[in-house]
Amino acid sequence: MRMLIWWACLPLFAIAQNDWGQLMQPSNVLQHKTIQSSPFIHHNSFGGLAFTDSSAIGISIENKYLIASLSKLNLSTQFKTDNGGIGVHLNAMANEIFGGISIGTAYGIRLSKSIGIGLGGGVKRDQFRGFAPLFILSPQLGLLYFFSKKGSISINWKKLIKPNPPSVYKEFGLVSSCLNFQIAEQVQMGLEIENDFRESSNLNLYAEWSPAHQIDCYLYYRTNSAEIQSGILYRLKRLNIGMGIAKHPYLGSSGFIMLYHVL
Residue range 217-251, pLDDT digits in tens: 888 888 888 888 888 889 888 899 988 888 888 87
Distance CA(23)–CA(43), nearest Å, equals 8
Model confidence over 7-18: pLDDT tens digits?
A: 444 444 444 444
Number of domains in the chain: 1
pLDDT at 157 over 50: yes
Helices (H), the chain: 2-8, 10-17, 27-30
Question: By mean pLDDT, which of 45-49, 84-88, 115-119, 225-229 is the weakest?
Answer: 45-49
DSSP three-state, residue 58: strand
- Name residue 256's beta-bridge partners: 62, 244
* CA 93 to chain centroid: 15
Tell me, what CATH number does 168's domain have? 2.40.160.40
**Residue 107: predicted pLDDT:** 93
Average pLDDT of 56-74?
Answer: 82
pLDDT of the residue at 110: 92
What pLDDT is attached to residue 3?
43
Residue 4 has pLDDT above 50, yes or no: no
Residue 11 DSSP one-character state: H
Give residue 186's pLDDT.
Answer: 85
Host domain of residue 104: 2-262
Distance CA 40, CA 74 (A): 9
Average pLDDT, the chain: 79
Given a cut of 90, whether residue 119 has pLDDT beyond it is yes
Largest CA distance in the chain: 60
